[in-house]
């Protein structure tokens, strides 16, 4: 269970690639790239014992090939990380780059990420850490919103107390007189 091949492309123009093992991955990938629409989306194709996962964002395609028993969530976590690193490194330059223009620099990043995300222990740690961060974000956001609501309600009660306080004393005194 591993990520066997990864590529970053603009349409059919390959910008960077890395292969974990030998095979005709490049030829097959070129055929698949020609069929991927340019709108933003995520999809997995299946062919034989391989899965082809891709994310297309701003006409840049991040694609990987895995065994058919590789978890889709791990493949898309890998692609998301590759996308983030590629966009951070190259930004809009990818829109006009020549074929393989980023390969000498970015293929090592692809290799490192392929190795990391192919290891189930590494991927689980990343996923677990991300879930913990998301949980902490939720804990930090909700109490603050609740606190703001409670403070505004308290201000409303204090205001009502000050407005009603003199009247309530007079009503209480009038009750005793009756």
User: Are residues 38 and 97 located together in one domain of the fold?
Assistant: yes
User: Are residues 54 and 104 located together in one domain of the fold?
Assistant: yes
HSE (side-chain half, CA atoms, 13 Å) at 74 = 24
Across the range 146-161, mean pLDDT stands at: 59
SS3 of residue 65 by DSSP? strand
User: Are residues 113 and 126 located together in one domain of the fold?
Assistant: no
Alpha-carbon gap, residue 161 to 131, rounded angstroms: 45
User: Are residues 35 and 108 located together in one domain of the fold?
Assistant: yes
Q: Report pLDDT for 27.
A: 84
Across the range 118-124, mean pLDDT stands at: 66
User: Are residues 19 and 106 located together in one domain of the fold?
Assistant: yes
pTM for the structure as a whole? 0.67
Distances from the Cα of 8 to the Cα of 103, 120, 127, angstroms: 9, 23, 23
User: Are residues 144 and 87 located together in one domain of the fold?
Assistant: no
Q: Report pLDDT for 109.
A: 92
Q: Report pLDDT for 125.
A: 61
Examine the pLDDT at 60 and tell me if it is beyond 90.
yes
Choosing from 73, 102, 118, the residue where a domain stops is: 118
- The backbone torsions φ and ψ at residue 38, rounded to the nearest 5 degrees and listed phi first, read -85, -5
Q: Report pLDDT for 130.
A: 66
- The backbone torsions φ and ψ at residue 53, rounded to the nearest 5 degrees and listed phi first, read -105, 140
Q: What is the CATH number of the domain that holds 28?
A: 3.30.450.50
Q: Which residues contact 43 (CB under 8 A, 6 or more apart)?
A: 36, 53, 54
Range of 161's domain?
122-178
User: Are residues 101 and 178 located together in one domain of the fold?
Assistant: no
């Amino acid at each position: 269970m591993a990520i066997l091949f990864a590529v970053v492309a603009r349409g059919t123009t390959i910008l960077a690639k890395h292969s974990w093992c030998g095979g005709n991955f490049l030829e097959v990938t070129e055929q698949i790239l020609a069929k991927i629409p340019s709108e933003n989306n995520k999809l997995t194709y299946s062919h034989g014992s391989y899965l082809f996962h891709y994310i297309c964002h701003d006409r840049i395609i991040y694609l990987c090939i895995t065994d058919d028993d590789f978890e889709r969530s791990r493949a898309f976590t890998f692609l998301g990380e590759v996308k983030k690193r590629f966009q951070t490194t190259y930004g809009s330059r990818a829109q006009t780059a020549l074929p393989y223009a980023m390969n000498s620099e970015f293929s090592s990043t692809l290799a490192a990420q392929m190795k990391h995300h192919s290891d189930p222990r590494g991927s689980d740690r990343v996923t677990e850490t991300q879930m913990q961060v998301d949980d902490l974000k939720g804990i930090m956001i909700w109490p603050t919103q609740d606190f703001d609501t409670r403070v505004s309600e308290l201000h409303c009660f204090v205001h009502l107390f000050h407005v009603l306080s003199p009247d309530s004393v007079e009503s209480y005194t009038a009750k005793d007189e009756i």
